[in-house]
Amino acid sequence: MVSEVSAPPKSASLVGALVGNNQIVLVAALVVICVGISLAVPQFYSSANIIAILRQVAMVLIVACGMTMLLITAEVDLSVGASLAFVGVVAMDVINVTDSVFLGALAGIAFGALVGLVNGLIVTRLKVNSLIATIGTMMILQGGVFLYSREAIQNHHHLPSFVDIGAGYVGPVPIPVIVAAVIFIASYVVLRHTTLGRYLFAVGANEKTARLSGLRTTWLKLFAFVLTGALVGVAGLILGSLMNAGQPTAGRGFELTVIAAVILGGTSLSGGRGTLIGTLLGVFVLKVIDDGIIVLQWNQDLQMIVPGVVLIAAIYLDILRRRADAR
């Protein structure tokens, strides 16, 4: 007797194709968005606007590189926005006290890494879920920054070298873009072409199996948390430089943008899968939409709404990917 195997519904096949070609879909979406905005506002392609987009992309991408590695290990950090603001305040305060941009930058990056270390220890040693742990850290940082400084800390010495971190150029290329490119390339090499990268994927795919295989899963997760924190420190310096001040209220909603971009790019919330190329495309999609809202003169509250909508859609796509893998 010959049994008939029914073909999957066309809609399911379409969804599977879209999920399987995530990066192609993101490129197509980016092209459509750019064309649509430019038809409404030709100034969208002006050099000034393109540079503004690249600066915003650079700041998000720097943190998204670390967040991609962290999500690959099946952990997450929701405190990056609050940490970003605190980094700027700490860096600006140290610069004002020491009259040294180097020491201020070092203090900012060290503070970000310390926050990452604390998050990592809470998750790996105290066994607190990373979502809950980093929400707690986020609340502590949001309150702590106002205990540290009730108002924005200005660049009292008016050091041009600090302003150059965010607003300077090397030739025609903005410095934040160069910094982001270096971090992106280094992260890509580590994740795709080193033993450390393979270990991170292994931890996220099955932590118990990885541990039984002899991998130090706790240290690998701790590395991902500290790296993410240090990269928040770098991004915080760029933001503080662009504002020429340490602003306690800066960075709100930043964590949503970062996580939405990473998941939209194809990194799984359940760990074990991710791609930095996808993350790059996800960041571009979100920041181009942000810029479009501004140049089209729409209500700028949409800049907070869009990442939330994208985050929900991206999580649903992640669910579809996992279902496709389970078949």
Residue 10 has pLDDT above 80, yes or no: no
- Are 151 and 248 in contact by the 8 Å Cβ rule? The answer is yes
Pairwise CA distance, residues 154 & 156, whole Å: 6
Pairwise CA distance, residues 223 & 72, whole Å: 12
174: which strand partners? 169
- Are 82 and 235 in contact by the 8 Å Cβ rule? The answer is no
**Residue 321: predicted pLDDT:** 75
Scanning the structure block, which residue is given the tokens 């899963």?
Answer: 217
**Residue 19: predicted pLDDT:** 53
50: which strand partners? none
Least confident of 62-71, 106-115, 128-137, 260-269: 260-269
Pick from 105, 110, 106, 111: which is nearest to 166 by CA? 105
Mean pLDDT, rounded, of the chain? 90
Q: What share of the chain is helix, strand, coil (3-state, %, to 5)?
A: 75, 0, 20
170: which strand partners? 173
Please calculate the CA angle 91-96-98 and round it to the nearest 5 degrees: 90
**Residue 327: predicted pLDDT:** 67
Q: What is the mean pLDDT of residues 101-106?
A: 97
Between 158 and 2, the higher pLDDT residue: 158
Pairwise CA distance, residues 278 & 60, whole Å: 14
Domains and CATH numbers, the chain: 45-317 (1.10.3470)
Exposed / middle / buried, residue 244 (Cβ in 10 Å: 0-12, 13-18, 19+): middle
Largest Cα–Cα distance in the chain? 87
Scanning the structure block, which residue is given the tokens 């130090």?
Answer: 216
pLDDT band at residue 40 using 50, 70 and 90 as cut-offs: very high
Alpha-carbon Rg for the chain, nearest whole angstrom, is 21
- Are 70 and 80 in contact by the 8 Å Cβ rule? The answer is no
pTM, 2 dp: 0.92
pLDDT band at residue 1 using 50, 70 and 90 as cut-offs: very low
Pairwise CA distance, residues 37 & 197, whole Å: 38
**Residue 4: predicted pLDDT:** 35
Least confident of 99-103, 176-180, 315-319: 315-319
User: Per-residue pLDDT tens for 106-161?
Assistant: 999 999 999 999 999 999 999 999 999 999 999 999 999 999 988 899 988 888 89
pLDDT band at residue 103 using 50, 70 and 90 as cut-offs: very high
DSSP string, 211-241: HHTT--HHHHHHHHHHHHHHHHHHHHHHHHH
- Are 279 and 65 in contact by the 8 Å Cβ rule? The answer is yes
52: which strand partners? none
Pairwise CA distance, residues 104 & 91, whole Å: 4
Pairing of strands 173-174, 245-246: unpaired
- Are 224 and 204 in contact by the 8 Å Cβ rule? The answer is no
- For residue 261, give every residue at least 6 positions away whose Cβ sits within 8 Å of its Cβ, in sequence order, or none: 60, 64, 279, 282, 283, 285, 286
- Are 302 and 293 in contact by the 8 Å Cβ rule? The answer is yes
Between 16 and 184, the higher pLDDT residue: 184
**Residue 6: predicted pLDDT:** 35
Q: What is the mean pLDDT of residues 99-112?
A: 97
pLDDT over 90 percentage in the chain: 76
Residue 7 has pLDDT above 60, yes or no: no
Between 25 and 116, the higher pLDDT residue: 116
Residue 80 has pLDDT above 90, yes or no: yes
- Are 292 and 33 in contact by the 8 Å Cβ rule? The answer is yes
